[in-house]
Homo-oligomer: A and B are copies of this chain.
């Protein structure tokens, strides 16, 4: 299996793109990644998306986006795993390049939420849960997160206010990310008093559904020379790539406070990359809810069980902390454009390793971990990235 590098990065602003169509939004990110990579036509395109079928009545996004982007003819497909769709698109691109079948592959994550009224968008989002056993009973993703958070608070003796650090950190980092949805600062006091969405998940606890697109161009290590490329940015290697699953329905899990899929996929990725949690200098986790950030830290080996929330309390996750988390604002403040989110995470982690993160730069990072989740942690996709010297 050959080495795979990230050669190109692209992203749009995250927010409300009412005047830009789905295909146009995808093209903006895709075009930026191709220009960044100095490549005209990739061999393959994998699109991460969750809701275009339900919200825009448009399936078949692979060819839609390839065609609109002037790439007619290339291999193209859509990959879906709910909130983990973006990471899964990157995973497919990685497999395609690693196999040697293609030299270059683009992963593009794209989502348009905000053209649709909230209730319809929430109904569509809920199709990421177990429809027959959860959604049909009235559960929404936020309601399920609330169940998990309530139980976490009970088991590990903490309060809503104890989760504030995650959101405060996310907003602090988003402030200097020009692509972030939110640029406002929030305080721990404001967090503790925020109106409830689904008790105990409050307004400042949950990530905003948003529109956006992000893209990464992957290339086989030996294809750089073959294609006569001289990268103008530092190369980033995909050192680990892994997917795992848990039960889809929360009530089927022996321990609802353990993100088993996140744990399994991180473990597989560590093994492939030959690193441990302590080697990771940049962390992009699926902080759709603060309790998911805590549980992801625990599943990934960054905190003992029941202690994830403490990492956010003592500054350990800030840009200058031991384990910088959500360095561009995370889902919470950069925004959560569904199937694009996992690709944003990889773009942001790669910018850090390239030392191109500007005001959000973490000091001298060598390894980064990006992990996205589908449903309440039912699917987890983990990528470990490594900074390379120029080849």
A213 contacts partner chain B, Cβ-Cβ < 8 Å = no
Query: Whole-angstrom distance between the alpha carbons of A14 and B119 in the complex?
Result: 36
Given A54-B53, A101-B98, A131-B57, CB of A77 within 8 Å of CB of B73: no
Given A76-B379, A127-B58, A241-B101, CB of A81 within 8 Å of CB of B63: yes
- Number of this chain's copies in the complex: 2
- Determine the chain B residues whose CB is within 8 A of the CB of A124 once the complex forms: 53
Q: Assess the B76–A78 pair: CB atoms within 8 A.
A: no
Contact pattern, A 114-151, Cβ under 8 Å of B = 1, otherwise 0: 00000000011011111110010000000000000000
Given A72-B245, A99-B98, A245-B67, CB of A80 within 8 Å of CB of B60: yes
Nearest residue, chain B, Cβ from A59: B127
User: Which parts of A289-334 form the interface with B (CB within 8 Å)?
Assistant: none
A20 contacts partner chain B, Cβ-Cβ < 8 Å = no
Query: Whole-angstrom distance between the alpha carbons of A100 and B21 in the complex?
Result: 38
A82 contacts partner chain B, Cβ-Cβ < 8 Å = yes
Q: Assess the B1–A99 pair: CB atoms within 8 A.
A: yes
A106 contacts partner chain B, Cβ-Cβ < 8 Å = no
Q: Assess the A244–B73 pair: CB atoms within 8 A.
A: yes
A79 contacts partner chain B, Cβ-Cβ < 8 Å = yes
A109 to chain B, nearest CB (A): 14
The A interface, classified by DSSP as helix, strand, loop or mixed, is mixed
Given A1-B100, A95-B92, CB of A245 within 8 Å of CB of B62: yes
A354 to chain B, nearest CB (A): 25
- Determine the chain B residues whose CB is within 8 A of the CB of A82 once the complex forms: 59-60
- Determine the chain B residues whose CB is within 8 A of the CB of A249 once the complex forms: 67
User: Which parts of A53-95 form the interface with B (CB within 8 Å)?
Assistant: 53-54, 56-64, 66-67, 71-82, 88, 91-92, 95
> What 3 A-B pairs have minimum CB-CB distances, sorted nearest first?
A99-B99, A75-B243, A60-B82
Other than the known A56-B131, A73-B260, what 4 A-B pairs have Cβ atoms closer than 8 Å? A62-B80, A75-B243, A77-B88, A79-B80
